[in-house]
Amino acid sequence: MPGFELFGDLERKEVNDVLDNGVLMRYGFDGMRNGHWKAKALETELSTTFDTKHVQLVSSGTAAVSVALASAGVGAGDEVIMPTFTFVASFEAIMMLGAIPVLVDIDDTLTLDPKAVEAAITPKTKAVMMVQMCGSMGDLDAVQAICTKHSLIFVEDACQAIGGTYNGKPLGSIGDLGCFSFDFVKTITCGEGGAVITNNKDYYINADHYSDHGHDHVGNDRGAETHPFLGYNFRISELNAAVGLAQVKRLPEFIAIQKRNYTILRDAIAQIPEVTFRTVPEGGEESYAFLNFFLPDLESARKVSKAFKEHGIDVCFHYYDNNWHYVRKWEHLKTQKSLFPLSSEIKKGLENLQHQTFEQSDHFIGRNISCLIKMSWTVDEVNERASKMVDAIKTSI
């Protein structure tokens, strides 16, 4: 991770094919494109990769979350349960629909704690969104059982976990809807792009229409298409899809490289008694995009994070002090800073967040270091990095 590290001839071929053909838009212009449909071809490939019936490409992972929720009928005043540890896009995508993000604690999987999910359910709850942060998953069976019990929509945000599996099934394919990001720093990149996947045909049709101004995509004359309902523009371009089409064919190669590099690093630091690792539920296999480990306490984690920087060990993150990925620094959400007036329902739903505490999440994120796994590293470079990490940890705790 990320896929741009290994751009090659296959990506260039697919992009040049679009440029030579001249049609950059994914819909219409049938006569000009001479049978070239990169977005359609990528959706077919992803359907196989994710073992799912339906795939709708969109413009980003953020768009994927909004489109997925909208496709299932989530909207104004509905509550969507989400984790405290994620990217800011999670609550942005929820609020864009007029829905209310309800933040709950994570556990040692670094994803939703099922007990916290159950405790947060109210009559307004419409959906639960598990975010598979840093390449791994939470207790999907437990969360799915809660959703079934309370008739809630179960959404998997697998934007950071493409290639991971749970009981042999690809992450993203287990819930009612799955969401993926193919932005510039993901394992598979389109530059910008995302996807909604589902086995529910109605959700898929809704996503197909909603992401393209409500177009029904019936027939071959775009100007004659009807609009069964309101939609917006979350389309992906053929250029972006072309890059993704090349990359998805290389996913097994990418995962194998990530696993090799991840394993070398993990085996090295596992020899340090004070280091423990995130819990991966039984039956789960990470995508190996990140190596996540815990130190004894917050002070140790801060010292190790500082030592990593001093030793030139890059792309390792202590999210407790991060502006983008943990609730602690989301002041713009807590104080409801918006360019436009928020609805009274959202304002009321967020009013307690400014003073709300998440001790359990602090306990895990405060002690966690998350290291991105690059695919461009040679084996010698990974071994050297492992040695530096061990030294930095030992001298810091």
Q: Which residues of 308-334 are buried (b: 16+ CB within 10 A; e: fewer)?
A: beeeebeebbbbbeeeebbbbbbeebb
| Class of 252-394 in CATH | alpha beta
Give the C-alpha separation, 306 to 392, whole Å: 9
- Name the one residue in this structure whose structure tokens are 């993150």: 317
Element (H, E) at 210: helix 201-210
Q: What is the DSSP letter of 124?
A: T
- Name the one residue in this structure whose structure tokens are 């502006």: 323
Contacts of 290 (CB under 8 A, 6+ apart): 1, 134, 135, 136, 160, 370, 371, 372, 373
Give the C-alpha separation, 47 to 62, whole Å: 20
**Mean pLDDT in residue range 83-93:** 98
Do the Cβ atoms of 250 and 10 come closer than 8 Å? yes
pLDDT digits (tens, 9 = 90+) for 177-192: 999 999 999 999 999 9
Q: Which residues pair with 317 in a beta bridge?
A: 370
* DSSP string across 234-282: -PPBHHHHHHHHHHHTTHHHHHHHHHHHHHHHHHHHTTSTT-EE----T
Q: Does residue 255 register a pLDDT over 90?
A: yes
Element (H, E) at 128: strand 125-131
Task: Band the pLDDT of 1: cuts 50, 70, 90.
Answer: confident
Task: Band the pLDDT of 28: cuts 50, 70, 90.
Answer: very high
Q: Does residue 275 register a pLDDT over 90?
A: yes
Active-site amino acid positions: 186
For the record, the structure tokens of 232 come out as 């917006």
**Mean pLDDT in residue range 249-270:** 98
pLDDT digits (tens, 9 = 90+) for 131-146: 999 999 999 999 999 9
Task: Band the pLDDT of 295: cuts 50, 70, 90.
Answer: very high
3-state secondary structure of 85: strand
**Mean pLDDT in residue range 332-342:** 97
Do the Cβ atoms of 49 and 248 come closer than 8 Å? yes
User: Strand 194-198 relative to strand 284-285: parallel, antiparallel, unpaired?
Assistant: unpaired
User: What are the backbone dihedrals phi and psi of residue 69, each rounded to the nearest 5 degrees, phi first?
Assistant: -65, -45
pLDDT digits (tens, 9 = 90+) for 343-362: 999 999 999 999 999 999 99
Average pLDDT over the chain reads 97
Give the C-alpha separation, 113 to 66, whole Å: 23
C-alpha distance from residue 159 to each of 117, 171, 172 (Å): 21, 10, 9
Element (H, E) at 56: strand 54-58
Do the Cβ atoms of 348 and 101 come closer than 8 Å? no
Is the entire prediction scored with pTM above 0.85?
A: yes
Taking the domains of the chain in order of start, what are their residue ranges? 3-250, 252-394
For the record, the structure tokens of 2 come out as 């990320």
The C-alpha angle with vertex 129 and arms to 132 and 297, in degrees rounded to 5, equals 50
| Class of 3-250 in CATH | alpha beta
| Identity of the residue numbered 146 | I
